[in-house]
Amino acid sequence: MGLKNRLILMNFLQFFIWGSWLLTVGAYWFQTKNWSGTEFGAIFSTMGLASLFMPAIAGIIADRWVNAERLYGTFHIIGAVLLSIIPSIDNPSTFFWVMLLTMMFYMPTIALAITVAYSAMKNKGMDIIKEYPPVRVWGTIGFIVALWVISISGFETSPLQFYVSAIASLTLGIYAFTLPKCPPMARGHKKKLIEELGLNAFRLFKSTKMALFFIFAMLLGASLQLTNAYGDTFLHDFAAIPEYKDLIAVKYPAIIMSISQISETLFILTIPFFLRRYGIKNVMLMSMVAWILRFALFGYGNPAEGLWMIVLSCIIYGMAFDFFNISGSLFVETQSSPEIRASAQGLFMMMTNGFGAFLGSRISGMVIDKFFVLDTGAFDWKGIWLSFAAYSLVVAILFALFFKHKHEPETIREITH
């Protein structure tokens, strides 16, 4: 098998593991376990907590002591063991701690997969900018395939979804040890701990513009977790209404939700055009408007005559997700000096997938339990989604008013070619 195909398989399995449970754990939590929204918010916060420190720690280990591909494989094997334990858990508190451990070993593997791929491709003299994106897109395909497998097999509300994920994680863990060697490159080089952990990038907060950008990155990171956490179980809840219970969208909601990931792969191709035409600030503002529409369409949609709203919401997700994450990373690239560029990108991810994910998960769970549970015990989904839309509207207005950035077509042309 050629190098490109080996890396494609790695990326496919990397995100198949996540896709096997990420969007459907809510259905298992609410439909099968009947645990609370506040407790569920804590589960999704584990990704944010793990993202605050584990990728940096794994990076130091891979830079100094252990081959990246071996560390990558070891983390996935440990993750497989933890995933296989989850179905036996019978209380939300234990579930939280086991899920936190699972995320502590999974989240660093996203960056380690990139490290392994870049190292192998460079050693083969390949053009990373040209040849890595077609490899990485197979990760999104893996996520989509996992959603379809879990949905069609009827595992969306079943603990079996975690066994599927565990099998994929074990397979990738073993396979990782056959990947090209990626030895530590910083052995013998001494750096201050603050540099090792990427904390020197925090000096960017001295700039008002950068400080505002990172704050909005955190606020947008919260929005991403809301749809991941509640989208699938929202559609499952329509099964309690007789006229909806036999509809395709209610029987196989993960398949409907997978449209979001398909849209993501398509919108990413349009980013260079939009950036050159409208500039980074306007593209990020488009993302925020897309989040408003994403939530509002869910609020007014249903699996029957309103199915088009749910499908359109999933299509819009591609713009909502890509336009901020990709343009945001390019903004960081243009605003950071070379010696802290990698750390600055790490800070961007920390604000979105770390602090943003943690706060979005925790606060949304508490708000839903306090204000959006009906007397019958069911969730007021219309109220939930419209409150999320209102939150996104406030963020968009504040961003438009306070974030100042001049469009520079030449700079955009440089970084998108």
Which of 184, 211, 232 is the C-terminal boundary of a domain? 184
205 and 176 within one domain: no
**Does the residue 72 lie in any domain?**
yes
pLDDT of amino acid 312? 96
Confidence of residue 11 (pLDDT cuts 50, 70, 90): very high
Which of 184, 213, 229 is the C-terminal boundary of a domain? 184
Confidence of residue 193 (pLDDT cuts 50, 70, 90): low
Q: Which position has the higher pLDDT, 305 or 130?
A: 305
**Does the residue 192 lie in any domain?**
no
79 and 23 within one domain: yes
228 and 85 within one domain: no
**Does the residue 107 lie in any domain?**
yes
374 and 239 within one domain: yes
Q: Is the model's pLDDT at 27 over the cut of 80?
A: yes
pLDDT of amino acid 177? 97
**Does the residue 260 lie in any domain?**
yes
169 and 217 within one domain: no
| Phi, psi (degrees; rounded to nearest 5) at 312 | -60, -40
The candidate with the shortest Cα–Cα distance to 210, out of 347, 48, 409, 398, is 347
Confidence of residue 104 (pLDDT cuts 50, 70, 90): very high
Q: Is the model's pLDDT at 188 over the cut of 70?
A: no
C-alpha to C-alpha distance for 108 and 72, rounded to whole angstroms: 8
Q: Tell me the per-residue pLDDT of 29-70, one tens digit each, with 9 for 90 and over.
A: 999 998 988 888 888 789 888 888 887 788 778 877 889 899
Taking residues 167-194, what's their average pLDDT?
82
**Does the residue 339 lie in any domain?**
yes
**Does the residue 14 lie in any domain?**
yes
- Which range in 14-28, 115-129, 194-208 is most confidently predicted, on average pLDDT? 14-28
The overall average pLDDT reported for the chain is 86
Confidence of residue 319 (pLDDT cuts 50, 70, 90): very high
Structural domain that includes position 399:
200-417
206 and 179 within one domain: no
| Phi, psi (degrees; rounded to nearest 5) at 375 | -60, -25
Number of independent structural domains in the chain: 2
Confidence of residue 89 (pLDDT cuts 50, 70, 90): very high
300 and 266 within one domain: yes
157 and 231 within one domain: no
Residue ranges of alpha helices (H) inside 124-159 are: 128-152
67 and 104 within one domain: yes
171 and 48 within one domain: yes
Which of 184, 219, 249 is the C-terminal boundary of a domain? 184
Which residues lie below 8 Å from residue 94, measured CB to CB, with a gap of 6+?
A: none
Q: What is the Cα gyration radius of the chain?
A: 21
Taking residues 311-335, what's their average pLDDT?
85
How many of the other CB atoms lie within 10 Å of CB of 31? 18
Q: Is the model's pLDDT at 186 over the cut of 90?
A: no
Q: Tell me the per-residue pLDDT of 116-136, one tens digit each, with 9 for 90 and over.
A: 988 898 888 888 767 887 888
Q: Tell me the per-residue pLDDT of 235-287, one tens digit each, with 9 for 90 and over.
A: 989 988 899 988 989 999 989 999 998 998 888 878 878 888 888 889 899 99
**Does the residue 81 lie in any domain?**
yes
Which residue type is seen at 51?
S
Which residues lie below 8 Å from residue 264, measured CB to CB, with a gap of 6+?
A: 140, 317, 318, 321, 322
Question: CATH code at 404?
Answer: 1.20.1250.20
Answer for the pair 147, 7: CB distance below 8 angstroms, yes or no: no
- Which range in 17-31, 56-70, 215-229 is most confidently predicted, on average pLDDT? 17-31
**Does the residue 165 lie in any domain?**
yes
366 and 324 within one domain: yes
297 and 331 within one domain: yes
Taking residues 317-327, what's their average pLDDT?
86
pLDDT of amino acid 199? 63
Q: Tell me the per-residue pLDDT of 331-373, one tens digit each, with 9 for 90 and over.
A: 877 777 765 655 676 677 778 878 888 888 888 888 888 888 8
Taking residues 84-96, what's their average pLDDT?
95
